Amino acid sequence: MGSILKETGAIIGLFILLVLLCAPAYGMDTKTAYTRDGINFVSKERMDENLRYEYAKPGEYHEVQVPLNTVVVNASIIPESAPIQDKNETEVQETQPSLSNQTIPASAREDDRRYPYATLGIGLLLFAGGVTFAAWVIKERGKQRK
């Protein structure tokens, strides 16, 4: 009876270890950002500013989860008394390259779009390997008893 408890404890310990190792694969290392094009990301405060100063229309932005190392443009410090810019200045600003395009290599953005479930797949492979290893250990211990 004691050996069964040891085997069960070993399996439970292995399972807990796998869960802790695979936890980052399930989105714990992300932050919330807002985007219109899936390439440039802004904070909620910047999105609210863009809507207030009519740089964007309501409904253009959608909320996404991005990795922690993604550049997210924060709110600017625009005084409340600042005049609202006309549409021509807004169009000029939108055509200029943004900071987030310059800091994230294009290949990294393409890989994220091409393989969105890569970390989940790796986590599942680790889990399946752990279960297979535990089953093999139990089988070998059963052979030793006979």
Q: What are the tokens at 92?
A: 């000029």
Q: What is the pTM of this model?
A: 0.38
Is residue 33 within 8 Å of 72, Cβ to Cβ?
A: yes
Q: What are the tokens at 31?
A: 């932050």
Tens digits of residue pLDDT in 93-110: 544 444 444 455 555 556
Residues 6+ apart with CB under 8 A from 64: 32, 33, 34, 35, 38, 41
Residue 95 has a pLDDT of 47
Residue 99 has a pLDDT of 47
Average pLDDT of the chain, as a whole number: 75
Q: What are the residue boundaries of the structural domains of the chain, listed by start?
A: 2-145
